[in-house]
Amino acid sequence: MIKKCLFPAAGYGTRFLPATKAMPKEMLPILTKPLIQYGVEEAMEAGMHDMAIITGRGKRAIEDHFDISYELEHQIKGTDKEHYLTEIRELIDNCTFSYTRQIEMKGLGHAILSGETLIGNEPFAVILADDLCDNGDDESVLAQMVKIYNKYQCSIVAIEEIDPSETKKYGIIDGKEIEDGIFMVKNMIEKPDPKDAPTNLAIIGRYILTPDIFNIIKDTKPGKNGEIQITDALMTQAQKGMVLAYKFKGKRFDCGSVDGFVEATNYFYSLSK
Ligand code: G1P
């Protein structure tokens, strides 16, 4: 059973300045819902109820969002606006939220390691909230990955095919397809040049990790951009044992970029009509 989901949310969101000067990028809304709430809903749908959020300076709005706002609720109680808070209230009632701060920005691997005390010695999921995923009424990406975890009991990354010119933006995997859409990872490179990329299979922001990853991260040297990369730690884990990559079913929007953010907004707007 995977009960906990980790949300690295300490990043600055520089691509959305000035909007992110005083507001966490995870609170940017697609329609009326902040990005991180989509992520928490996906985790809950996949059976997880303990949300572990890695924050940093200037991220307090995330904590306030997953809390009751007595004054606001009192004001709208009994009015036709009450239903606006139903969804978020359901999350607050059904999940626990724990927070820890990443003091220094040393990469995604380092951010995940900052969550070790919140996670403990059990397998857990990771959602990068700016990768927004949707699979309509069918199973969410994380729920699909949990099924694979239950069968193979090892770390899993979600992947999708990208345009080969874009490999510099992603972790890229190479592997052997052992089941339809499931690859046993043989190689993993963080943000390679297109000429050095073994495939166009890119890691997107959904992971299931076994807890031995923490000690592996501790031994992982800074890699691409001088940061401690989860991709490098996963490569070590793949060499020691097994890591899978899963070509998920559904759509994914890169809401860390303005283009992807607008695309997601248009997509969810058209669904709402
Ligand atoms: C991170 C990972 C990268 C992955 C990407 C998915 O990069 O390091 O391997 O492909 O997330 O969004 P970031 O986008 O944080 O630079």
Residue 75 sits in a domain of what CATH number? 3.90.550.10
pTM beyond 0.85, yes or no:
yes
**Ligand 1 atom nearest 128 alpha carbon:** 12
* Ligand 1 pocket mutation, candidates 128, 185, 188, 257, criterion most atoms within 8 A of CB: 128
Is 90 exceeded by the pLDDT of residue 66? Answer: yes
Full domain range(s) for residue 174: 4-272
Find the range with the poorest average confidence among 135-139, 171-175, 229-233, 240-244. 135-139
Q: What confidence category does residue 242 fall into, taking pLDDT thresholds of 50, 70 and 90?
A: very high
Burial class (CB in 10 A: 0-12, 13-18, 19+), 140: buried
> Please, what's the b/e burial string for 203-233 (b: 16 or more CB within 10 A of its CB; e: otherwise)?
bbbbbbbbeebbebbeebeebbeebbbbbbb
Burial class (CB in 10 A: 0-12, 13-18, 19+), 135: middle
Is 90 exceeded by the pLDDT of residue 164? Answer: yes
Count of domains forming the chain: 1
**In whole angstroms, what is the distance from residue 96 CA to residue 117 CA?**
15
* Ligand 1 pocket mutation, candidates 26, 105, 108, criterion most atoms within 8 A of CB: 108
